[in-house]
Amino acid sequence: MFENKLNKDFDIIISIISSKKERLKRLRKSKNMKKSLFNKIIKSQTSNVERIKKSDIVVQNNKGMREYKTKIKNILDKITE
């Protein structure tokens, strides 16, 4: 979204942020991705620092799915009040 400057088309920007280490671990497990491909993809994406600056809400997602779902539910509850 940020790479194509589409963020200006939305009222609220929510970014899900994970560390590079965590993203690589997940992609190796789910897609058997090699580190070299991962690094190429990361270089083409907006950095976490920029995402945080440009987002209205930031969700840290370095833990398990249960915690992630709880965070998302809480955010949805807040923005739909």
DSSP letter string, 56-76 = SEEEE--S-HHHHHHHHHHHH
pLDDT for residue 42 is more than 90:
yes
Per-residue model confidence (pLDDT) at position 24: 96
Enumerate the domain spans of the chain: 6-79
Per-residue model confidence (pLDDT) at position 8: 85
**What's the mean per-residue pLDDT of the chain?**
93
Per-residue model confidence (pLDDT) at position 47: 94
Segment 44-48 mean pLDDT = 93
pLDDT in tens, 21-39: 999 999 999 999 999 999 9
pLDDT for residue 77 is more than 90:
yes
As given in the structure block, the two tokens for residue 19 are 């560390």
Q: What is the pTM of this model?
A: 0.81
Per-residue model confidence (pLDDT) at position 19: 95
Q: Which residue's structure tokens are 């833990």?
A: 63
